[in-house]
Amino acid sequence: MAMEASNVKPPVSAIEEAHLDLYTIPSYSSWFQWGNIHEIERISLREFFDGSSITRTPRIYKEYRDFIICKYREEPSGRLTFTELRKSLVGDVSTLHKVFTFLEKWGLINFSGTVSAEPAEVQQRHKKEVRVEEGAPYGVRVVAAPNSLKPVAPLPRPVDVGGGGGGELAENGSKFPPLASYSDIYGELLQQQQQQGEEGKELVLCGSCKQLCDSGHYEHTKDEFLLLCKKCFGNGDYGSKSAHDFKYVDDTNQVVWTEAETLLLLESVLKHGDDWELVAQNVKTKSKLDCISKLLQLPFGDLMLGSALRKTKVWDRNAGQAVPAHSVQDTVTGDDQQHEHKNQGQQNANVEDPGPPHKRLCTVPNLDASSSLMKQVGRLSSVIGPPVTACAADAAVAELCYENRCSREIFDDDNFGDELGYSARTDEEERVLPVENSEGEKGPTVSGASEHRGNGANISKECCTTNFANASCNCNFSWCCSCSCEVIGCSGRERN
Amino acid sequence: MKPLSTWGSSRNPVKFRIPTSDNLLPIRLDIEIDGQRFRDAFTWNPSDPDSEVVVFAKRTVKDLKLPPAFITQIAQSIQSQLTEFRSYEGQDMYTGERVVPIKLDLRVNHTLIKDQFLWDLNNFESDPEEFARTFCKDMGIEDPEVGPAIAIAIREQLYEIAVQSVASAKESRMIKKGRKGFEHIPISKAGGIAVDLVKSFGNKSSVIRKRKEWDVFEPIVDLLSNEEVDALEATEERNAR
């Protein structure tokens, strides 16, 4: 999305316009209106709109939102922090933070060319500076008790105590890798990386033919980013530079992995988890360090290194206990098609399983193993709006048909539309019509009516569409006046 | 939406757990052997096998070069805190509609923190670690030990409230017998610290605090000098004895 700014003014009378301040927000947020709550807000912050708590209502959301934006605009050149803001609002801090993050993401607050650069820079700087501390952190220091004459032993090695308790789980019966700290296993690897410099493990692409340079490449002495592979160099394909300016850099210490070895590596990692000794034994041709670095290079490699790899337990709300996650994998692969996560595993001739389910575990943590597939599908599709789900389903089925002949037979072209929510769409249109007639406005009204229906509220469709048409206030909001739901922005109308 | 229907659903009790997105238990260690004092605080995943406790204790002792006598003490301390937690597991916990104030009053090395804010017990997606991260980032705290300390302090308070609500669930079940229909569950039970939701979030009030109250809910972060730290430590020692 192009980040052009568009100017948004709060609605005021014409007389005051001359004194108005202009605030910039990104063009993709032009849906925002002061007097209105848009569907995007309803979907992203649905806890305010599903009646789940007296502490979260549409009115409260609007108060939070308006206050936060106004507060930011008091000082648009600075960045409004969450901590500065939360003291002024009554509410659960996690919920407030969610609203804050939402507004920030859409650029309704803290959107300014100069300001946003700074925190990013600071973050970059922090990432590069790794502070190496000698000795244990103060909080974990062993101190001599007062009045004790015994000297305290010095503590040279830094220790990460906070993460020590973090569980590394395995199913009962499988061998537990020894509990070791990061530097035990990866220490040698880190050393090696440092020796080889930053470019040591990176894949080198030729600047002219865009192919991978395997065993060595030519680097321009003055511009270190100008690289040529041996072939292009031999062809004289220097661009505007001369041959003398290139020096040869040997990459032969880069390890080459065949597809079979990569496959074997992934299987071993799946089976043995973090135990690199066993993994290296399985992949006989590669050393322990090579295995680790190869895994890191793979697209989902760093996911596998985390606890997602081992059979982590997923909190099963229904059963009230932790449940092994491998059953999640089974039910989730069905979902894979629905939700359009490309199977990157195929690029590396790998086993299909390691890729998507682990990504799923990371991206949708509230999946649990016990609910049926349809429930999960329902839950996932309630996270996004219906048109998006329909598009995703379309695309997924198209891909399925492309891959697999029998899918094509199943999703016969004639039935294509019907299968995938065109009927749902016509339903929506039907529902929409009576509303449109009365209000004559599109946008929030239309989607509001259907969204309202899907919220699980105790309101029947009949109530909403017919009574809505009869609503005595002309506010274009989707809450029905006559059935005890709240009308936002409506000035004097009381709730029943 | 009818507010009444939401309270109705909160009558269903939930099995005991820490009301955050990950069910991590805060563990605190304070062990003294032979004139050496070891203090630490961290989070533990209660679904870890218990064999991990000893492994962790051994690892800690090895990393910190503590005398081996600490191993059993550390393991015992962790184990007993775990067992206490487990004794509540399986019981019903009534959380209902409860927004409670969480207070921070802690010192981590040279940083002194005082703060107060509201936390929704019913929000099982809440994340104390994320809150701590935001806090440290916004306040520009560079000491990496502060964040975890804040998160653990929050967890400890949540744990305590959860334990109290287990007790109160038992009580109210006995009282509730015979009553019919919807009742307004008294929210001020279990320590009387919950926020009056109708008063704060009802239609007659604004969720924007009065300006004069902003100071109360604003975090205070102080950097102490070495002398102040020493003085405070001495006071704490005295109080602990």
Q: CB distance from B225 to chain A under 8 Å?
A: no
Q: Do B43 and A165 touch (CB under 8 A)?
A: yes
Chain B interface, mutation test: which of A90, A97, A313, A379, most B Cβ atoms within 10 Å?
A90
Which one has a higher pLDDT value, A422 or B170? B170
| Average pLDDT of the segment spanning B147-153 | 93
Strands B92-93 and B36-44: unpaired
Residues from chain A contacting residue B66 (CB–CB below 8 Å): 142, 153
Q: What does the pLDDT read at residue A98?
A: 93
CB pair distance less than 8 Å for B44 and A165: yes
- The pLDDT > 70 percentage for chain A reads 37
Question: In chain B, where are the structural domains located?
Answer: 16-89, 92-170+189-240
pLDDT value of residue A22? 73
How far apart are the CA of B50 and the nearest CA of chain A, in angstroms?
11
Residues of chain A predicted below pLDDT 70 = 1-21, 113-136, 138-139, 141-181, 183-205, 207, 211-217, 221-226, 237-243, 249-255, 301-371, 405, 407, 411-496
What pLDDT score does A102 carry? 93
- CB-based contact A169 B200, cutoff 8 Å: no
Question: pLDDT band at B116, cuts 50/70/90?
Answer: very high
| Partners of residue B195 in chain A, C-beta under 8 Å | 90
The answer to whether A246 and A256 have CB atoms below 8 angstroms apart is: no
CB–CB of A91 and B99 under 8 A?
Answer: yes
Residues within 8 A of A (CB atoms), B 161-180 only: none
Residue A171's Cβ-count burial label (10 Å; 0-12, 13-18, 19+) is exposed
What pLDDT shows up at residue B97? 75
Q: How confident is the model at residue B235 (pLDDT cuts 50, 70, 90)?
A: confident
Q: What is the ipTM of this complex?
A: 0.82
Classify A334 as helix, strand or coil: helix
Task: Tell me the per-residue pLDDT of B6-55, one tens digit each, with 9 for 90 and over.
Answer: 333 345 667 788 888 888 999 999 888 888 888 899 999 988 888 899 99
Say whether residue B88 is in contact with chain A using an 8 A CB cutoff.
Answer: no
In this prediction, residue B156 has a pLDDT band, given cuts at 50, 70 and 90, of very high
Taking contacts as CB-CB distances below 8 angstroms, the residues of chain B near A165 are 27, 42-45, 48, 56
Whether residues B7 and A136 touch (CB distance < 8 A) is answered with no
pTM of the model: 0.48
Mean pLDDT, rounded, for B216-221: 88
As a whole number of angstroms, the distance between CA A474 and CA B48 comes to 58
CB-CB neighbors (< 8 A) of B1 in chain A: 50-51, 57, 457, 484-486
